[in-house]
C-alpha cells in the first residue's frame, strides 16, 4: 500500500495505488472547490480544456454491458461512432447506474480503477497532449499523468469518437 503524506478518501487511494502499481509517474492536485465538469477542472488547473479527461459510462442497449469512454474535455462523444465501434447502440448510463457500476458518482469517475469490468475507449484527441488531468475518485482531487500512461493503465483502445462539428448552411 502506498504511504500518503495527506489523507485521501479510500476511492482516491485505490486510484493512486493503481498508478503506483503501474510504476507510472503522476501528480495529485487537491482543491477546496469541486470540479464536477471539465471546464471547472481546466480553470482550477490552469490547463487546456482538451487536456482534461471526462470519464463517461455508456450502456450497450442490447446486451446491457457497460463501457468507459475517456473523452477530451473539449469534445463530446459521438453516439453513432461509439455504436459503430462497439457493434450496438449505446445510451448514457444513469447517475445511479454509474455509481453502482464504478463505485464513484458522476463527476468523480476516474479513468481506471472502477469496480466494474468493462471495455475502455479513449478519445484520440487526448493522445495529442503530453499530460492529461482526470478525476481521481473525488470531485476535489485531480491526477495528472502522461497520455501514454493513461492508455497503458486504462488498457483503452484509442479511437476517433468526437462528435463532428456541424457546418452552418
In this prediction the pTM is 0.93
- C-alpha pair distances (Å), 93 with each of 4, 18, 106: 33, 25, 10
pLDDT tens column, 21-35: 999 899 999 999 999
- In 49-118, the DSSP E strands lie at 53-60, 66-72, 90-92
List of domains in the chain:
10-159 (3.90.960.10)
pLDDT at 164: 84
136 or 166: which leads in pLDDT: 136
Quote the mean pLDDT of the chain: 93
- HSE on the CB side for 139, CA within 13 Å? 11
Sheet with 27-30: list strands edge to edge: 27-30, 141-146, 131-138
pLDDT band at residue 51 under the 50/70/90 scheme? very high
- Whether the pLDDT of residue 2 is over 80: the answer is no
Average pLDDT over residues 84-88: 96
* DSSP category for residue 160: -
pLDDT at 4: 53
Average pLDDT over residues 42-65: 97
pLDDT at 116: 83
pLDDT at 101: 95
pLDDT tens column, 100-135: 999 999 999 999 989 888 999 999 999 999 999 999
125 or 164: which leads in pLDDT: 125
Amino acid at each position: 500500500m502506498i504511504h500518503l503524506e495527506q489523507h485521501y478518501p479510500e476511492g482516491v487511494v485505490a486510484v493512486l495505488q493503481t498508478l503506483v502499481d503501474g510504476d507510472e509517474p503522476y501528480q495529485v492536485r487537491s482543491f477546496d472547490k469541486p470540479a464536477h465538469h471539465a471546464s471547472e477542472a481546466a480553470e482550477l488547473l490552469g490547463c487546456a480544456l482538451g487536456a482534461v479527461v471526462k470519464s463517461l459510462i455508456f450502456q450497450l442497449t442490447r446486451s446491457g454491458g457497460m463501457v468507459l469512454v475517456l473523452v477530451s474535455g473539449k469534445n463530446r462523444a459521438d453516439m453513432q461512432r461509439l455504436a459503430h465501434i462497439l457493434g450496438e447502440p449505446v445510451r448514457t448510463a444513469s447517475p445511479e447506474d454509474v455509481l453502482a457500476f464504478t463505485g464513484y458518482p458522476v463527476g468523480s469517475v476516474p479513468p481506471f480503477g472502477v469496480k466494474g469490468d468493462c471495455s475502455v475507449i479513449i478519445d484520440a484527441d487526448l493522445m495529442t497532449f503530453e499530460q492529461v488531468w482526470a478525476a481521481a475518485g473525488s470531485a476535489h482531487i485531480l491526477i495528472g499523468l502522461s497520455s501514454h500512461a493513461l492508455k497503458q493503465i486504462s488498457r483503452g483502445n484509442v479511437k476517433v469518437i468526437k462528435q463532428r462539428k456541424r457546418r452552418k448552411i
